[in-house]
């Protein structure tokens, strides 16, 4: 009887150790954590200083987003689109760029461009997402002043 009791205790110990080690093995790798923490800031910084691909102009994405507050008065023509169509251009371009980079690197993301309520546009925000689910989220905010108030660009990476 004592022998059986010892075996039961040993099995209980064994189970405890197996559960303990399998739980601690679920930690994320250091690279992923460090990369993901820095990535939204680096990505937004790079994106907003890069050329937006507009014809006859070296306008950056910051300029293009700024112009979208009042697209009808914008002088930019990007990808053959001008005026209110610049919204579609920006949406398509950013979607492609995000899927070619963050998407290919295996990240879930959400990009939000929030225009001030006073801006003369139909939709006050652009939201590009690829199912941003997960407990941990790292965001970077890039606010800048436009003609009608504060424009917010927020990139969130979920993991």
Q: Select the residue interacting with another protein from 12, 15, 19, 34 (CB under 8 A).
A: 34
Tokens of 9: 């205790």
CA dist., res. 33 & res. 134, Å (int):
14
Pick the piece of the chain touching another protein (CB under 8 A) from 46-54, 83-91, 136-144, 145-153.
Answer: 46-54
130 touches 103 (CB < 8 A): yes
Q: Select the residue interacting with another protein from 12, 15, 16, 45 (CB under 8 A).
A: 45
Q: Select the residue interacting with another protein from 16, 88, 105, 144 (CB under 8 A).
A: 105
Contacts of 113 (CB under 8 A, 6+ apart): 65, 90, 125, 126, 127, 151, 152, 153
Q: Select the residue interacting with another protein from 15, 19, 42, 72 (CB under 8 A).
A: 42
In the complex, minimum distance from the CB of residue 78 to another protein, in angstroms, rounded to a whole number? 9
């Amino acid at each position: 009887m004592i022998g059986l009791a010892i075996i039961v205790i040993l099995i209980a110990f064994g189970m405890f150790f197996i559960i303990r080690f399998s739980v601690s093995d679920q930690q994320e790798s250091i690279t992923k954590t460090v990369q993901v923490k820095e990535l939204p800031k680096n990505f937004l910084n790079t994106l907003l200083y890069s050329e937006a691909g507009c014809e006859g102009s070296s306008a950056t994405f910051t300029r293009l987003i700024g112009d979208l507050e009042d697209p009808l008065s914008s002088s930019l023509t990007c990808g053959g689109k001008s005026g209110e169509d610049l919204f579609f251009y920006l949406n398509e371009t950013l979607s492609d760029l995000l899927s070619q980079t963050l998407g290919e690197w295996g990240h879930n993301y959400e990009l939000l461009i929030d225009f001030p309520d006073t801006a003369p546009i139909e939709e006050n925000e652009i939201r590009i997402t690829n199912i941003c689910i997960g407990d941990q989220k790292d965001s970077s905010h890039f606010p800048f002043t436009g003609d009608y108030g504060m424009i917010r660009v927020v990139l969130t990476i979920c993991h």
